[in-house]
Amino acid sequence: MSINEERGQNDLTEHSHNHSHEHGEMSELSDTELRVRSLETVLAEKGYVDSAALDAIVEAYETRIGPQNGQRVIARAWVDLDFRSKLLEDASTAVNTMGNVSPVGSHLIAVENTPKRHNMVVCTLCSCYPWEVLGLPPTWYKSAPYRSRAVLEPRAVLAEFGVTLPDQTEVRVWDSTAETRYIVLPMRPAGTEGWSEEQLAALVTRNSMIGTGLAQRPDEKTEGS
């Protein structure tokens, strides 16, 4: 199975978690979502989980934890050379200075893309992922095809994501673990001189921070892609 086929199968969505359970809403849920709701209800009724606590966790990931944090980090690194140096030296400390909801793992590492090297992140054993700065991992990141092929044939995998690199550009694959997570610092797109951090953050994609994509060009953003 190719990565594209895997990406096409139920890529992780970020639905809002609403306990009103109106009939119209319930009819729009998938079988998996209905089963999750039913399981949550049973566990809550038996006192094994606290629905309010679950709602708080979901709300945090929907509004405060996610790729928007990583986008802000990357944009700051593009405009602030001192912050960029600190990010590459100690990503955990640098990222946490920006007021994240919860501390990033003690071993977050930032790897910088350059014309000579393109970095790509994978977790070959499971799906270790820096949730605090990237949000919930996409389905394809956890899939067996990506986890195996990213190491064996990274250029082929990148091509399936629409990324073609010059032959002289080295591709380096970083394997995340439970103790060590990575975030890619993509190259700043040309034509963004004088842009604000907010404008730059809008060009940063989740995939560019994993390494399976590039930051958007200004013309791509203008076209709404």
Find how far residue 46's CA is from the centre of its chain.
34
Query: SS3 string of 153-212?
Result: CHHHHHHHCCCCCCCCCEEEEEECCCCCEEEEECCCCCCCCCCCHHHHHCCCCHHHHHCC
pTM of the model: 0.74
CB atoms within 10 A of CB 218: 16
pLDDT for 123 equals 96
Radius of gyration of the chain from its Cα atoms, rounded to whole angstroms:
19
* Nearest residue to 203 (alpha-carbon basis) of 218, 187, 223: 218
Domains of the chain as residue ranges with CATH? 14-63 (no CATH), 67-222 (3.90.330.10)
pLDDT for 2 equals 65
Task: Kindly list the distances between the CA atom of residue 166 and the CA atoms of 111, 114, 163, in Å, as whole numbers in the listed order.
Answer: 19, 12, 10
- pLDDT tens, N- to C-terminus, the chain (225 residues): 667 665 654 443 333 344 444 444 445 667 766 776 777 778 778 887 777 665 655 555 555 567 999 999 999 999 999 999 999 999 999 998 987 645 545 689 999 999 999 999 999 998 899 988 998 899 999 999 999 999 999 999 999 999 999 999 999 999 999 889 999 999 999 999 999 999 999 999 999 999 999 999 999 864 433
Positions marked catalytic: 123, 126-128
pLDDT for 19 equals 41
